[in-house]
Structure 1
């Protein structure tokens, strides 16, 4: 844990290195949450259609990061992680001329009583 999800506009698919961004996000989890490096996972989902301010997203790109964590971190640690994620997105994602890039991060506590996960080896 954490299992980070990054949703990004299809327009951005060929403009950033997802492997590098995923590794950097995982490193933030280690730094801010004291997560074990081998417990961090990041997945990327390309979003083919988005709506921004009630209209189609022509000329606008979106990157949304969901960062679920186990409870127990202070509000300051969560806020620090959120700010670090936004700064990281700014480093890794280009803003093309004539386009607008919207970024957001949601650091949220999961229900540790019901969360389950497993790893299967073949």
Structure 2
């Protein structure tokens, strides 16, 4: 994959590679909800607590799948920071990190196009 922008942040707790992360106070942490302030996905190395974590914030990156999704699906975080298909839900603003660039099954490492945004139920 060819990320075009990688930014380093302090990891508030240990972060494994390829997980989706959220903004926190003075750093980043593993995302645990589709409504978290998602900012990208960790690179392959991850980081220990209080270490510096490289986060893909532009171009193409890779992410660990938390379930089955299809090429082109919008991606958000599950409770473990893995990528799952984003589904609009009444009363929720669902945040996404981008779009799947291939089909995936649970625990696959798959490419995604970084395109942050939000989706809401009509």
Task: Classify the TM-score, shorter chain.
Answer: under 0.3
In our comparison, the structure showing a higher alpha carbon Rg is 1
Bigger relative CO (Cα 8 Å, ≥ 6 apart)? 1
Could you say which structure has the higher helix fraction? 1
TM-score (norm. length: structure 1): 0.25
